[in-house]
């Protein structure tokens, strides 16, 4: 549960259902929020918010109480005046009009609740979920895997280095590609245009058996979580859309026996080294790395002249001012991780109810 509008007093989240006894410090949350902030490098908005989280409840003497955890982040660096001329205009590619068609009212300042700032609450909640996953030895790493048509080499490439990705503002874990993309982004910025891209995510350490068929499947819940992100237009798991062009004989991962624990009595350990399934079969984790990719459309706020419609139904011309990302894909990386953490934490708790012995 998140709350808050881009230019309201604050944004935040309430995390219910977190077990008691998990170590949790404000600092951990602050660090995740910092990863979400505009990182420079010309890709990002120049709006600078401190984004300091305040932990209002649910934690006592450094550990979770089992009660709801409320986290609030104040909005401080608002220049709402920037948006006054958008009060009666519907920006192309934004949800301004659909929002009004739905509610009859909207907070026009910075997109209100549709703003990317809404993800602050998600990232804060995700930091709590990550603290839980840490207890299980589960790690989640996402990265920018394509920008403006330039593909980033994957984990099989010798130059792939996730630590490198954390250092550059593009979250591209491949030094040469990062440099190449920066040049392209700079060119797009000069054209007052914007670029889309994809985020890849890889989860290691998942226990086999995670995921609740038929209506709480691991991949289905992740698909919902990712498509709930503002600019997401698609998701694929493992071989994904390419699998739809292939043959069963090529796409069936071959199982091999391995030692895993714990498993229910009488069930042998299995691994699927080819992992074209992306770590999920029948909506249940196989124990292999979970792999998926999310497509994001370009930021719709561009500095070029666009044609649109105003509240009276008249056609108008518009040049969007204000502070906006050229490409928000790098900033989506920690959000994808946070949403993944929230889905996995839920499923980990639910899994305890699957069998009496578990």
**Which of 137, 253, 269, 275 is closest to 208 using CA atoms?**
269
Contact positions with a second copy (CB under 8 A) in 284-303: 284-287, 295-302
Residues 312-351 that bind a second copy (CB under 8 A): 312-315, 349-351
DSSP run (H or E) holding 318: strand 315-319
Structure tokens given for 341 = 């953490």
Q: Which residues pair with 293 in a beta bridge?
A: 200, 236
Question: Which range touches a second copy (CB under 8 A), out of 33-41, 44-52, 89-97, 175-183?
Answer: 89-97
> 199: closest CA among 334, 93, 289?
334
Distance CA 252, CA 350 (A): 28
> Scanning the structure block, which residue is given the tokens 């997109």?
111
d(CA 61, CA 47): 35
Which of 41, 92, 155, 322 is in the footprint of a second copy by CB under 8 A? 92
The closest alpha carbon to 223, from 214, 212, 236, 207, belongs to 236
Phi-psi region of 302 (alpha: psi -120 to 50; beta: other; left: phi over 0): beta
Least distance (Å) from a second copy to the CB of residue 222?
8
Q: How far is the CB of 156 from a second copy (least distance, A)?
A: 20
Name the segment binding a second copy (CB under 8 A); options: 32-40, 44-52, 69-77, 169-177. Answer: 69-77
Q: Which is nearer to a second copy, 178 or 185 (CB)?
A: 185
Give 10 or 34: the residue with its C-beta nearer to a second copy. 10
Binding flag, residue 254, a second copy (CB under 8 A): yes
Residue window 183-202: x/- pattern of binding to a second copy, with contact defined by CB under 8 A: -----x--x-xxxxxx----
313: alpha, beta or left, given left = phi > 0 and alpha = psi -120 to 50? left
Region of 29-37, 42-50, 165-173, 277-285 interacting with a second copy (CB under 8 A): 277-285
Give the range of 9-17, 35-43, 157-165, 168-176 binding a second copy by CB under 8 A: 9-17
Question: From the list 267, 273, 319, 321, which residue makes contact with a second copy (rule: CB under 8 A)?
Answer: 267
- Show contacts with a second copy in window 15-54 (CB under 8 A): 16-17, 19-22, 54
Tell me the window of 38-46, 56-64, 160-168, 172-180 that interacts with a second copy (CB under 8 A): 56-64
Window contacting a second copy (CB under 8 A); options: 123-131, 161-169, 173-181, 248-256: 248-256
Q: Which CB atom, from 167 or from 310, has the smaller least distance to a second copy?
A: 310
Q: Is 307 in the site for a second copy (CB under 8 A)?
A: yes
Cα–Cα distance between 8 and 87 in angstroms, integer? 15
3-state secondary structure of 140: strand
The dihedral through the CA atoms of 99, 103, 105, 106 has a sign that is negative
CA–CA distance, 316 with 89 (Å, rounded to integer): 8
Between 302 and 341, whose beta carbon lies closer to a second copy?
A: 302
Of the residues 53, 110, 173, 208, which one makes contact with a second copy according to CB under 8 A? 208
Q: Structure tokens of 158?
A: 């010798």
Positions 98 through 157 that interact with a second copy (CB under 8 A): 98-107, 112-114, 118, 135, 146, 148-149
Per rule CB under 8 A, is residue 81 in the interface with a second copy? Answer: no
CB-CB contact of 86 with 307 (8 Å): no
Instruction: Please state, in angstroms and rounded to a whole number, the distance separating the CA atoms of residues 83 and 96.
Output: 13
Query: Shortest gap between Cβ of 158 and a second copy (angstroms)?
Result: 25
């Amino acid at each position: 549960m998140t709350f808050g509008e881009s230019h309201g007093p604050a944004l935040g989240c309430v995390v219910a259902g977190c077990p008691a006894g998990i170590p949790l410090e404000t600092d951990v949350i602050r660090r995740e929020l910092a990863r979400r902030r505009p990182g420079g490098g010309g890709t990002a908005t120049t709006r600078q918010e401190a984004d300091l989280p305040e932990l209002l409840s649910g934690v006592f003497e450094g550990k979770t109480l089992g009660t709801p955890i409320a986290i609030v982040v104040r909005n401080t660096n608002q220049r709402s005046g920037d948006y006054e001329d958008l009060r009666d205009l519907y920006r192309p590619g934004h949800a301004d009009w659909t929002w009004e068609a739905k509610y009859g009212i909207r907070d026009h300042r910075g997109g209100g609740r549709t703003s990317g700032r809404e993800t602050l609450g998600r990232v804060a909640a995700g930091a709590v979920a990550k603290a839980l996953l840490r207890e299980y030895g589960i790690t989640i790493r996402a990265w920018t895997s394509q920008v403006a048509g330039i593909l980033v080499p994957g984990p099989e490439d010798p130059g792939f280095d996730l630590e490198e990705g954390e250092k550059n503002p593009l979250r591209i874990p491949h030094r040469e590609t990062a440099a190449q993309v920066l040049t392209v982004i700079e060119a797009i910025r000069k054209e007052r245009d914007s670029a889309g891209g994809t985020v890849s995510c890889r989860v290691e350490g998942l226990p086999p058996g995670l995921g609740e068929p038929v209506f709480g499947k691991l991949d289905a819940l992740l698909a919902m979580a990712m498509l709930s992100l503002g600019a997401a237009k698609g998701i694929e798991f493992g071989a994904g859309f390419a699998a739809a062009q292939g043959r069963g004989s090529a796409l069936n991962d071959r199982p091999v026996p391995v030692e895993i624990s714990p498993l229910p009595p009488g069930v042998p350990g299995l691994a699927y080294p080819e992992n074209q399934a992306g770590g999920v079969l029948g909506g249940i984790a196989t124990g292999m790395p979970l792999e998926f990719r999310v497509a994001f459309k370009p930021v719709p706020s561009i500095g070029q002249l666009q044609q649109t419609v105003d509240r009276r139904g008249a056609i108008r011309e518009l040049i969007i001012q204000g502070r906006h990302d050229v490409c928000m894909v790098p900033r989506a990386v920690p959000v994808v991780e946070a949403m993944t953490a929230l889905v996995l934490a839920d499923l980990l708790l639910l899994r305890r109810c699957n069998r009496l012995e578990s």
